[in-house]
Structures are given as structure tokens and as C-alpha cells.
Amino acid sequence: MKPIRFIPTLVSCWIALGIPANALEINGAWATSPSSCSQVFMKKDGAISFRQDSDQYGGGFILDGDRIRGQMQTCTINRRKEDGNVIHMIAKCADDIMTSNIQFSAKIIDGNTIARIFPGMPEFTLSYSRCAM
């Protein structure tokens, strides 16, 4: 796997897993831009999945309970700690080659927007928007 393709999937998982399910209903599909939802996701037989070339449109993730799916990786939330509208998470992520524990923080902006935040670098965030499927 090329490292450059791994980064968007990893970032997607970091953001996606950073949202507390009990504070906000966040299950569903999330993309880096609302306008790219139809290029990133498709719905077949009631199930949401990735389009084959979704990474070319900014990527995204599918969140279902404590599981998150990126195009090339699946993560399971192990621990979470809420601090207002920020949640700190530890998740176990796996792809075809390896597994790893990832620690990250995310901020709930509103019911349809989340942002990965980086402690010590408040000016740098990565935003994702909920896709209506």
C-alpha cells in the first residue's frame, strides 16, 4: 500500500471515531465536502458503501456504532473521554497488513459537521460533513 493513500483513510478514522454516540447521533456516511458525497458513497440494497474511486474525491468514512469504515481500513473504538463538545478517543484500527492503536481528538461542530483537532495546534483542523443517504 502506498503511504500517501493510507493517510486519508487514517485521518478519516481519527475524525470519525472522535464523536460520542451518546451525545449526538453520528451514524452514517461522512465526507470531506458535502458536494462530494455522491462521488464518495453509494447505497445498494439499503447499505452504504464506498465507490471504487472514492479517494479521488477527498474520501470519507462510514460510522456504525463503535465501528468506522474507511475505504481501506476498519477501526473499533476502545476508549473515549468527553470534554464538553470535544472527545478524546483511542481506537484499534486494522487494514490488510497491520493493526494499530490510534489516539486522537475531535470536536462536534453541529449535527452535520465534525472536525479533527490537533492539541497544541488549534489553527489546524480537518472537517467532515454528514452525507444524506
d(CA 89, CA 44): 31
Pairing of strands 125-131, 28-31: antiparallel
The dihedrals phi and psi of 25, each to the nearest 5 degrees, come to -75, 110
C-beta separation of 104 from 89 below 8 A = yes
pLDDT of residue 38: 95
pLDDT of residue 39: 95
pLDDT tens digits, 10-52? 445 444 444 434 445 678 999 999 999 999 999 999 999 999 9
Kindly report the pTM of this predicted structure.
0.74
pLDDT at 112 over 70: yes
pLDDT tens sequence across 82-98? 888 887 888 899 988 89
Q: Which residue has the higher pLDDT, 116 or 10?
A: 116
Residues 66, 19: Cα–Cα separation, whole Å: 10
In this prediction, residue 23 carries a pLDDT of 44
